[in-house]
């Protein structure tokens, strides 16, 4: 049986401030006191998995064991149909740039350009369909765990548009809209995002009466 989260402290196993902010906002109604792994001084485990599920579980279990608290990890990425699902689990790796003081460098404009360049090589008729995938993994110090998967379908645009959001948001246009995720008000994005889809499944199982 999958255990239930009790109201109280929950470690968010991420060092990505944008992702942390989104997760905190989604958990606010459920009385969870979110603690960032980075603020607790927890190291980032090496993401050696080849799927979103493997990496999310790896991060959640490491944080739960280190903090001796329940932990929630997110592994997410952009999957492009014409690129056979790439960058996928290597979404962040495509943004790797020269390191800067305090941590690894991430250049998301470079990453977006890399995706666009690969699509351009395939020709103007190439499908620009894609989806954002999100896997949320909950882990408890005793080794129990649960996984929830969500998706947001869309297409890629170029050049990037919008100043909100993070990562590949400026080039992702969700199905049913003409604006990118980075042009949407955060509340609008939260309502339709891959993370929101995964959270809806988590909430239904963890917090349902």
Query: What are the two backbone dihedrals, phi and then psi, of residue 78, each rounded to the nearest 5 degrees?
Result: -95, 130
Residues 43-86 have pLDDT tens digits of 888 888 889 999 999 999 999 999 999 999 999 999 999 999 99
Q: In this structure, what CATH number is given to the domain that contains residue 50?
A: 3.90.950.10
Beta strand 32-36 with 8-12 is parallel
**How many domains, in total, are found in the chain?**
1
pTM, 2 dp: 0.84
Which residue numbers are catalytic? 75
Rounded-to-10 torsion of CA 107, 104, 71, 164: -20
> How far out from the chain centre does Cα 96 lie?
16
Question: Token match 């977006």: residue?
Answer: 112
Q: Is residue 40 part of a domain?
A: yes
Residues 127-163 have pLDDT tens digits of 999 999 999 999 999 999 999 999 999 999 999 999 9
For residue 100, give the H/E element and its range. strand 96-100
Q: Is residue 193 part of a domain?
A: yes
């Amino acid at each position: 049986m999958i255990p239930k989260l009790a109201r109280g402290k929950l470690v968010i196993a991420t060092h990505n401030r944008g992702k942390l902010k989104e997760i905190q906002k989604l958990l606010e109604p459920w009385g969870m006191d979110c603690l960032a792994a980075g603020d607790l001084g927890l190291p980032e485990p090496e993401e050696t998995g080849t799927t979103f599920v493997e990496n999310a579980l790896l991060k959640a279990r490491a944080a739960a064991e280190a903090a001796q608290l329940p932990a929630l990890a997110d592994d997410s990425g952009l999957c492009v149909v014409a690129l056979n699902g790439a960058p996928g689990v290597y979404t962040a790796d495509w943004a790797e740039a020269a390191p800067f003081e305090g941590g690894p460098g991430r250049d998301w404009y470079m990453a977006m350009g890399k995706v666009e360049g690969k699509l351009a090589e395939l020709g103007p008729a190439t499908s620009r369909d894609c989806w954002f995938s999100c896997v949320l993994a909950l882990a408890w110090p005793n080794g129990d765990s649960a996984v929830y998967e969500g998706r947001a379908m869309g297409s890629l645009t170029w050049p990037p548009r919008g100043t909100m959001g993070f990562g590949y948001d400026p080039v992702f246009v969700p199905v049913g809209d003409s604006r990118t995720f980075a042009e949407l008000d955060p509340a609008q994005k939260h309502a339709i995002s891959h993370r929101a889809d995964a959270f809806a499944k988590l909430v239904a199982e963890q917090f349902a009466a």
